[in-house]
Amino acid sequence: MITLEFGIIIACLLVGTRYGGMGLGLISGIGIFVLCFVFGLQPGKPPIDVMLTILAVIGCASVLQTAGGLNVLMQYAERLLRRHPQHITLLAPFTTWMLTFLCGTGHVVYTMFPIIGDIALKKGIRPERPMAVASVASQMAITASPVSVAVVSLVSIIAAGHGIGRAYSLVEILAVSIPSSLVGVLIAALWSLRRGKDLEKDADFQARISDPEQRAYIYGAGETLLDQRFAKSAYASTLIFFAAIAVVVLLGAFSELRPAFAVKGVMKPLSMNLVIQMMMLIAGAVMLIGCKVKPGDIANGAVFKAGMVAIFSVFGVAWMSDTFFQVHMGDLKLLLEDVVKSQPWTYAIVLFLVSKLVNSQAAALTAVAPMALQLGVEPKMLLAFFPAAYGYFVLPTYPSDLACIGFDRSGTTRIGKFIINHSFILPGLIGVSSACVTGYLLVTTLL
pLDDT tens by residue, 246-304: 898 888 778 789 899 987 788 888 877 788 889 999 999 999 999 989 999 999 887 78
Q: List the pLDDT tens digit at each of the 447 positions of the chain.
A: 888 998 998 888 778 767 766 887 899 899 999 999 999 999 988 878 778 877 888 888 889 989 999 889 889 999 999 999 999 999 999 999 998 998 777 777 877 888 899 899 989 999 999 999 999 999 999 999 988 878 878 887 887 655 455 778 888 899 999 999 999 999 999 999 999 999 999 999 999 899 988 888 888 766 678 888 999 999 999 999 989 988 988 887 787 898 999 877 888 888 777 888 899 999 999 999 999 899 999 998 877 887 787 788 778 887 888 888 778 877 766 666 677 777 888 889 989 988 887 778 887 888 888 888 888 888 999 999 999 999 989 877 677 787 788 888 888 998 877 778 889 999 999 999 999 999 999 999 887
Strand (E) or helix (H) holding 263: strand 260-263
Distances (CA, A) of 281 to 70, 187, 190: 18, 37, 39
Q: What is the pLDDT of residue 160?
A: 64
List, in order, residues 6 or more apart from 37 with CB less than 8 Å away.
none
Domain annotation covers residue 399: yes
Q: Mapping DSSP to helix (H, G, I), strand (E, B) and coil, where does residue 30 land? A: helix
Range of the domain at 319: 47-446
Q: Of 86, 82, 111, 85, whose CA–CA distance to 96 is shortest?
A: 111
Contact 103, 63 (CB under 8 A): no
Domain annotation covers residue 17: no
Domain annotation covers residue 262: yes
- pLDDT tens for 373-412 read 888 888 999 999 999 999 989 877 677 787 788 888 888 9
Number of domains in the chain: 1
Q: How far apart are CA 178 and CA 172, in angstroms?
A: 10
Domain annotation covers residue 7: no
Contact 268, 260 (CB under 8 A): yes
Domain annotation covers residue 242: yes
Q: How far apart are CA 446 and CA 172, in angstroms?
A: 10
Contact 154, 176 (CB under 8 A): no
Contact 297, 343 (CB under 8 A): no
Query: Model pTM?
Result: 0.78
What beta strand segments (E) does 283-346 contain? none
Domain annotation covers residue 211: yes
Label residue 179 exposed, middle or buried (CB < 10 Å: 0-12, 13-18, 19+).
middle
Contact 272, 56 (CB under 8 A): no
Question: What angle, 0 to 180 degrees and rounded to 10, lies between the N-to-C axes of helices 345-358 and 302-342?
Answer: 150
Q: How far apart are CA 123 and CA 130, in angstroms?
A: 12
**Strand 266-269 and strand 260-263: pairing?**
antiparallel
Alpha helices, H only, 343-392: 345-358, 361-374, 379-384
Question: What angle, 0 to 180 degrees and rounded to 10, lies between the N-to-C axes of helices 2-17 and 345-358?
Answer: 50
Domain annotation covers residue 382: yes
C-alpha torsion sign, points 196, 199, 203, 209: positive
Q: How far apart are CA 57 and CA 53, in angstroms?
A: 6
Domain annotation covers residue 27: no
Amino acid at 255: S
